[in-house]
A = this chain, B = another copy of it.
Amino acid sequence: MGDVKFSFQLLDKGNPVFSAFIMWASVLTIKFLLMSTLTAIHRYRSKTAASPEDMAMMRVTELTTNEEVDRVKRAHLNDMENILPFLSVGLFYVLTDPSAMVAIWLFRVTTVARFVHTFVYAIYVVPQPARAICFFTHFGITFYMAFMSILYFI
């Protein structure tokens, strides 16, 4: 993209960094949305109502808690703390006109890291530091993208 003059010209389907970002960010969003579905599945299986008015639908007579539901909710909260800022900061990073190879690999690695994070946290529990490694991979990449955006736009 040697003849780029304006930042907004990077926001184009013809820019492989931009297209890769939108694609992986959308994949991560779908993964994020599915956490609600996973929570619902565990709530139904364990008959754990979220709110008093759900008890009739679930045919239970009291509000209980369930370790599996709580585990999925922790994984969901962790996704919120990490995937949601990435959806914005990844776009800022695209606007710094990074190396295509570096940027696209960062998007791929960070997406895989969040999928594995959820797997080892909420699907098939794997001992630490499995979850910590996944967390810090995505965390480090998001941090790097925010830092590069500051350097470029300061």
Let me know if A53 and B128 touch, CB within 8 A: yes
Most interface-central of A11, A29, A57, A121 (chain B CB within 10 A): A29
Whole-angstrom distance between the alpha carbons of A82 and B6 in the complex? 30
Chain B residues, CB < 8 A from A51:
71, 74, 121, 131
Residues A129-154 near B (CB distance < 8 A): 129, 131-132, 135, 139, 142-143, 146-147, 149-150, 152-154
Interface of A is mostly: helix
Count of chain copies: 3
Whole-angstrom distance between the alpha carbons of A101 and B135 in the complex? 39
Instruction: Give A contacts to B, CB under 8 Å.
Output: 6-9, 11-14, 18-20, 22-23, 25-27, 29-30, 32-33, 35-36, 50-51, 53-54, 56-57, 71, 74, 76, 80-82, 84-85, 87-89, 91-92, 95, 121, 125-129, 131-132, 135, 139, 142-143, 146-147, 149-150, 152-154
